[in-house]
Structure 1
Amino acid sequence: MALQDLGILVSRSQHAAHHQKPYNNNYCIVSGVWNRFLDKHKVFEELEMMLFLKQGVRPRSWNEPTSEWTEETESS
């Protein structure tokens, strides 16, 4: 948390953005330095498409979340 507070690691809110729709951005969840560039140039969207075309694996961002891959949280 100290490294997050110093801006060395992504903040908790920036990390949380990685877990929010549309699930196709903010891939760099450690430092976040490359997120703006990678998202702007759709690098991971292209990689997902290449993986799909070569291996037939659909990325999760192409579908709505299911209980199989969403985190369960306790309600207070």
Structure 2
Amino acid sequence: MARPNAADVRNLSDADITEKIDTIRRELFDLRFQQATRQLPNAHRFKEARIKLAQLLTVQKERNRSQASS
């Protein structure tokens, strides 16, 4: 799974970013649950999901800061 670059994430709307954040958080929860029950075949998905989540949260915070300073 290819990681989106920052430019792609910045082109998303605020609603899309919030939706993707919720989706990835749910995915991380499911991955942790699978790991606890020893049913997780691809442990590298944790890293990919965390990186995507971090990118989305960074862009979301940048937008919130720019709106607060305006």
Which category describes the TM-score, using the shorter chain as reference length? 0.3 to 0.5
**By percentage of residues, which structure has more helix?**
2
Q: TM-score, normalised by structure 1?
A: 0.30
Q: TM-score, normalised by structure 2?
A: 0.32
Q: Relative CO higher for 1 or 2, CA cutoff 8 Å, sep ≥ 6? A: 2
